Chains A and B, each alone.
Chain A
Amino acid sequence: MLARALLSGAFAVAVLALPGQAEDRGEGEVLFRPCGACHMIGDGAVHRVGPHLNGLFGRPIGGAEGYEYSDDLIAARDRGVIWSEELLDRFLAGPRDTFRQTSMVFRGIRSPEDRAALIGYLRSEGGTAEAQNGAEPAAIDPEIAAILEIAGDVAYGAYLSSECTACHRATGGEDIPSIAGMAPSVFIAGIVAYRNGTREHQVMNTLSARLGDEEIAALAAYFETTE
């Protein structure tokens, strides 16, 4: 069983207030919109393609219950690594430069000012880990949970996967990520997000639109077996 995840949502420990946090909130909200295709934050947030981002600051790395993280994020968690302001800033500048195995499809934010604005927004909307203490673990999106219940037909998934491999290499590319070895929950969450349009990509939206739940489960079951 390979445990991989799109993204560490565990930006932990006390982070000093960022300069201009309050005034950057509006800009941060705008910057968060593309993130919202995969992540939820605020009241009612649940795990989708990525983990929910409530309580991000102060949450142990890889610490959102019910979400499968990539091996290197789990390893970082096991080493007791916590998110400092600097680490979070570096992660947002280049996710794969920070965690090589993350399959988050995001090239990063070049502007330090934009990163600061986004961090400010995440703190203001999601609060701190302390504020989340005692909260119920975030549920998995019911649509995703329903597909996870289906036993995927691996052989059918292998056939269907040939449509994916015209664009996805096992090693991944600069803009088209690897999906080999992806955890079913993460794979399914991604496809569902494309299928219902909450995550936008013209090719993936078009391809996912014709995938039924059984086919998504088959693909997820197959890709979990690949390396």
Chain B
Amino acid sequence: MTFNRRIFLGSAAAVTASLATPIVISAQGRPRVVVVGGGAGGATAARYIANDSQGAIDVTLIEPTRAYYSCFFSNLYLGGFRDYDSLGHSYGNLAATYGVNVVHDWAVAVDRDAKTVRLAGGGAVRYDRLVLSPGIDFIEDSVPGWSLATQNAMPHAYKAGSQTQLLRAQVEAMPEGGTYAMVAPPNPFRCPPGPYERISMVAHMLKQTNPTAKILIADPKEGFSKQGLFEDGWERHYPGMITRIGPDFGGDVVEVDAEAMTLSIDGAVESVDVCNVIPAQRAGSIAFAADITEGNWAPVSAYDLSSRADPEIHVLGDSAAQGAMPKSGFSANSQAKVCANAIVAALSDGRAFPPRFSNTCWSLIDTDDGIKVGATYEASDEGIVSTGGFVSQVGETAEVRAETYRESLDWYAAITSDMFG
């Protein structure tokens, strides 16, 4: 889409430098915004700030990976509905078209007094406003027996990339009649329907290749997003294959042994062939390094996503404690636009508009059987609050479900285009 906003064609093309010496990059006159994390929140914010400020603001995006692989839709890869490459997106256009300085490095520390972000490569980047959108990290001791050291034996696959490929390979290698186990996370966590869409996709794969296989879910939560819709779908498409053990029967008392490949649920030990452990989650580490967290998350103002601890730092997406929005790629994209508008208004001559947010989450249960849930939100002093919503219904026609799935494909193409231009 060629909008009638002036697009800044920056002279700075893709910068992929890991700085070798500890120098501080300065903005040379223009206010500088540094964005940490190139996912749905960070990439969208970088693009919109660069575009809407018409070049008046210098934007640097710090992201360690050279291509973005979306966590949303990665379940469809597990189910065989898309190939892995279709999840990947380049940062090249953010640099070439919008003039964003893309730095492929890890942000490891924030000096809030000096307003600099220190990079693992040794450099530091100065900011006037800092946007943190680092996604999630895992709480290692939340599932006894699981750690990052054992993540290849029992993959989380909840950050898209090699873990996603590993989990699919493990599912494909399951013995006939084997058991796939998932340890579901406690609230709050990234993408509330995500684990259950994953169950659907693994079941879809197994139904074709290993129909006597079983799926076991150990879940610490009483209920989960779209539960009635998922359970209806599992009964229709995968009868007898899926067993969920909630907290009433010990789903919240789980241990794993990666070496023995066992899962213990309230003391009952099961041998499993694949164990997909999705641990409890917290804000990305850089939020803790910046010392803007309370508990596991970073509290923010609902009006501009600025940190409650430091108004010159904004936190987007999964890491933010913002109120009622679920942790999702769509939410992060929506929050990024509100944040971008506020930053452009503060640092250049842009107009500030009232914040408004929305989110829709599509899930696939089986071929052409898509469901969705969504809501609109607005800002309040207490946080982001819901103003209306909807959810798919049990018993919808096959045509409605097929349309919902096709709609989700269009959404994926649109939101990734919205992120990267």
Contact A169 B48 (CB under 8 A): no
* A135: Cβ under 8 A from any B Cβ: no
> Are A158 and B3 CB-contacts (below 8 A) given A163-B358, A206-B375?
yes
* CB of B372 within 8 Å of the partner chain: yes
The yes or no answer to A133 lying at the interface (CB within 8 A) is: no
Does A156 count as interface, using CB distance less than 8 angstroms? Answer: yes
Q: Does A43 contact B (CB under 8 A)?
A: no
Other contacts beyond A154-B4, A160-B353, A206-B375: 4, CB < 8 A: A166-B415, A174-B410, A175-B407, A176-B414
Chain A residues positioned under 8 Å from B4 (CB to CB): 154, 158, 225-226
| Contact between A167 and B410, CB atoms less than 8 A apart | yes
Contact in complex: B358, A156 (CB < 8 Å): no
Chain B contributes a number of interface residues (CB within 8 A of A) equal to 37
Q: Say yes or no: is A180 at the interface (Cβ < 8 Å to chain B).
A: yes
Within 8 A of A (CB), among B200-240: none
Contacting chain A: which of B156-164, B173-181, B184-192, B384-392?
B384-392
Beta-carbon nearest neighbor of A155 in chain B? B351
The reply to whether the CB of B1 lies closer than 8 angstroms to some CB of chain A is yes
Contact A180 B390, beta carbon cutoff 8 Å: no
Evaluate contact between A163 and B356: CB separation under 8 angstroms: yes
Q: A165-B414, A170-B1, A174-B406 are contacts. A202–B358 as well, Cβ < 8 Å?
A: no
In angstroms, Cα B374 to Cα A165, docked, is: 16
5 sampled A-B residue pairs with Cβ under 8 A: A166-B333, A166-B358, A175-B403, A225-B4, A226-B4
Contacts of B138 in A (CB 8 A): none
For chain B residues 390-409, which have a beta carbon within 8 Å of chain A? 390, 392, 403, 406-407, 409
**Is B418's CB within 8 Å of the partner chain A?**
yes
Residues B48 and A176 in contact, CB atoms below 8 Å apart = no
Chain B residues with CB under 8 A of A163: 334, 337, 356, 358
Question: Is A79 an interface residue, CB under 8 A from the partner?
Answer: no
- Identify which of B389, B411, B418 contacts A206 (C-beta below 8 A): B389
Query: Is A209 in contact with chain B by the CB < 8 A criterion?
Result: yes
B341 within 8 A of A: yes
> What's the Cα separation between A202 and B362 when bound, in Å?
12
**Alpha-carbon separation in the docked complex, A176 to B353 (Å):** 27
Q: How far is the CB of A219 from chain B (nearest CB, A)?
A: 12
Residues of B within 8 A of A156 (CB): 351, 353
Report which of A162, A169, A180, A227 forms a contact with B413, defined as CB distance below 8 A.
A169
Verify B334–A180 contact, CB threshold 8 A.
no
Residues of B within 8 A of A210 (CB): 356, 376, 378, 387-388
A167 to B407, CA, bound (A): 9
Measured between alpha carbons, how far is A144 from B409 in the docked complex, in Å? 31
User: Hey, which chain B residues are within 8 Å of A159, CB to CB?
Assistant: 337, 341, 351, 353
Query: Which residue from chain A places its CB closest to the CB of B340 in the assembled complex?
Result: A162
| Residues of chain B contacted by A162 (CB below 8 angstroms) | 48, 337, 418
**Cβ proximity bits B63-100 to A, threshold 8 Å, 1 near / 0 not:** 00000000000000000000000000000000000000
Chain B residues lying within 8 Å of A167, measured Cβ to Cβ, are 360, 410-411, 414-415
Which residues of B have CB within 8 Å of A209? 376, 388
Question: In the complex, A216 Cα to B3 Cα: how many Å?
Answer: 18
Contacting B at CB under 8 A, from A167-224, are: 167-171, 173-176, 180, 202-203, 205-207, 209-210
Mark contacts of A137-158 with chain B using CB atoms, 8 A cut-off: 1 yes-contact digit, 0 otherwise. 0000000000000000011101
Interface of B is mostly: mixed
Instruction: Say yes or no: is B243 at the interface (Cβ < 8 Å to chain A).
Output: no
Query: Please, which residues of chain B bring their CB within 8 A of the CB of A205?
Result: 390
Say yes or no: B353 contacts A175, CB within 8 Å.
no
For the complex, give the distance between the alpha carbons of A155 and B407 in Å: 29
In B356-388, the 8 Å CB interface with A consists of 356, 358, 360, 372, 374-376, 378, 387-388
Find the B residue at minimum CB distance from A218.
B353
Chain A residues whose CB sits within 8 angstroms of the CB of B150 once the complex forms: none
A226 and B2 form a contact (CB under 8 A): yes
7 closest A-B pairs by CB: A170-B1, A173-B410, A176-B410, A202-B390, A162-B337, A225-B4, A175-B406
A114 CA / B48 CA spacing, docked (Å): 46
Q: In the bound complex, what is the Cα–Cα distance between A184 and B412 (angstroms)?
A: 27
User: Nearest Cβ distance between residue A27 and chain B, in whole angstroms?
Assistant: 17
Question: B330 contacts the other chain (Cβ, under 8 Å)?
Answer: yes
Indicate the member of B1, B5, B375, B417 with the most A CB atoms within 10 Å: B1
* Residues in chain A near residue B413, CB distance under 8 A: 169, 173
- Verify A173–B3 contact, CB threshold 8 A: no
Complex formed: what's the CA distance from A202 to B333 in Å? 20
A171 CA / B1 CA spacing, docked (Å): 7
Shortest CB-to-CB span from B295 to chain A, Å, is: 29
Name the A residues within 8 Å of B418 (CB-CB).
162, 165-166
Contact A203 B351 (CB under 8 A): no
- The CA-CA distance from A159 to B353 in the complex, in Å, is 7
B414 touches A203 (CB 8 A): no
A173 CA / B330 CA spacing, docked (Å)? 18
A166 to B414, Cβ gap below 8 A? yes
Contacts of A175 in B (CB 8 A): 403, 406-407, 409-410
Which residues does chain B contribute within 8 Å of A226, judged by CB atoms?
Answer: 1-4
Interface positions of B from 1 to 47, Cβ below 8 Å from A: 1-5
CA distance A13 to B194 in the complex (A): 54
Q: Are B358 and A207 in contact (CB under 8 A)?
A: yes
Q: Would A170 and B2 count as touching, CB distance under 8 A? A: yes
B388 touches A169 (CB 8 A): no
Nearest Cβ in chain A — how far from B333, in angstroms?
A: 6
Which of chain B's residues has its CB closest to A170's CB? B1
Q: Is the CB of B353 within 8 A of A207?
A: no
